[in-house]
């Protein structure tokens, strides 16, 4: 193991509940119900894919552009008023990687502007020199593109990278890229299929730190 690649939402920062609240509130204002089960189906997907899935789910009469602007407005207002907290164990894991000079990168389905806002609001903006976002690669998760690009920027073979993910699409993306994929589920537990391809499924980033540390000994 020579490098670690982090997903962002739901893995490092506790934003998935904010996304769920914002999407559901925006839909309700327009007279639609955004079920939790449907929200789970778009976790980890890039924005373009989410738009297509949402449009297909609600049908041709759904005001997608109005909805899209509104949920982003709600999300930003909520994040600015409450802040974005980081996940337990992240501080310790990042400190360990920095201490041992292990290169690290972010691979997030969020677009560049959204990722920059989230990382800054959570105090993580200066932690990463390499940030690959969903709008920078041809194919989003679960395709391997974003993790292959992260490895390229790090200058490390994908097979020598550990990927940390909370979503099923992220795990499939990382494993397709040839990385060792460790899952720390957030709102949704993995299916049997995803659990089978993940290297490990852990309860927290504390456990991830212990596992990575054990591989260095």
pLDDT higher than 60, residue 217: no
Same domain, 78 and 91: no
> How high is the pLDDT of residue 16?
87
Distance CA 141, CA 146 (A): 7
Q: Are residues 197 and 99 in the same domain?
A: yes
pLDDT tens profile 2-57: 999 999 999 999 998 899 999 999 999 999 999 999 999 898 888 888 999 999 99
Residue 95, Cβ neighbours under 10 Å: how many? 11
Could you say which of 33, 64, 82 is where a domain stops? 82
Are 187 and 29 spatial neighbours (Cβ–Cβ below 8 Å)?
no
Instruction: Give the end of a domain, one of 30, 53, 82.
Output: 82
Q: Is pLDDT above 80 for 216?
A: no
Contact assessment for residue 151 and residue 172, using Cβ atoms and an 8 Å cutoff: no
β-bridge partners, 132: 107
pLDDT of residue 139: 95
Q: Is residue 200 located within the same domain as residue 131?
A: yes
Whether residue 64 is found in the same domain as residue 142: no
Residue 131 pLDDT grade (very low, low, confident, very high; cuts 50, 70, 90): very high
Same-domain pairing of 95 and 189: yes
From 148, 94, 89, 110, select the one nearest 9 (Cα to Cα).
Answer: 110
One domain, residues 115 and 191: yes
The count of domains in the chain is 2
Task: Give the per-residue SS3 of the chain.
Answer: CCEEEECCECCCECCHHHHHHHHHHHHHHCCCCCCHHHHHHHCCCCHHHHHHHHHHHHCCCCCHHHHHHHHHHHHHHHHHHHCCCECCCHHHHHHHHHHCCCCEEEEECCCHHHHHHHHHHCCCCCCCCCEEEHHHCCCCCCCCHHHHHHHHHHCCCHHHEEEEECCHHHHHHHHHCCCEEEECCCCCCCCHHHHHHCCEECCCHHHHHHHHHHHHC
Full residue range of the structural domain in which residue 175 is found: 3-14+85-216
Task: Please give the positions annotated as active site.
Answer: 7
* 89 and 26 together in one domain: no
The CATH number given to whatever domain includes residue 187 is 3.40.50.1000
Q: Answer yes or no: do 55 and 75 share one domain.
A: yes
pLDDT(93) > 70:
yes
Domain boundary among 61, 82, 103: 82
Give me the pLDDT at residue 124, please: 95
Same domain, 118 and 188: yes
- What integer pLDDT is reported at residue 215 of this predicted model? 81
């Amino acid at each position: 193991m020579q490098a670690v690649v982090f997903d962002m939402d739901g893995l490092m920062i506790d934003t998935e509940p904010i996304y769920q609240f914002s999407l559901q509130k925006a839909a309700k204002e327009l007279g639609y119900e955004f079920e939790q089960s449907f929200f789970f189906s778009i976790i980890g997907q890039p924005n373009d894919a989410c738009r297509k899935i949402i449009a297909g789910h609600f049908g041709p009469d759904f005001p997608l552009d109005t909805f899209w602007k509104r949920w982003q407005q709600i999300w930003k207002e909520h994040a600015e008023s409450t802040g974005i907290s980081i996940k337990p164990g992240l501080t310790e894991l990042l400190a360990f990687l920095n201490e041992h000079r292990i290169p690290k990168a972010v691979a997030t389905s969020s677009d560049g502007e959204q990722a920059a806002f989230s990382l800054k609001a959570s105090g993580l903006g200066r932690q990463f020199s390499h940030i690959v976002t969903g709008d920078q690669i041809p194919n989003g998760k679960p395709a391997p593109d974003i993790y292959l690009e992260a490895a390229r920027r790090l200058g490390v073979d994908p097979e020598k990278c550990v990927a940390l993910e909370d979503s099923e699409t992220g795990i499939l993306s990382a494993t397709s890229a040839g990385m060792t994929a460790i899952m720390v589920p957030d709102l949704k537990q993995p299916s049997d299929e995803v659990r089978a391809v993940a290297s490990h499924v852990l309860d927290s980033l504390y456990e991830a730190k212990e596992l990575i540390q054990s591989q260095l000994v």
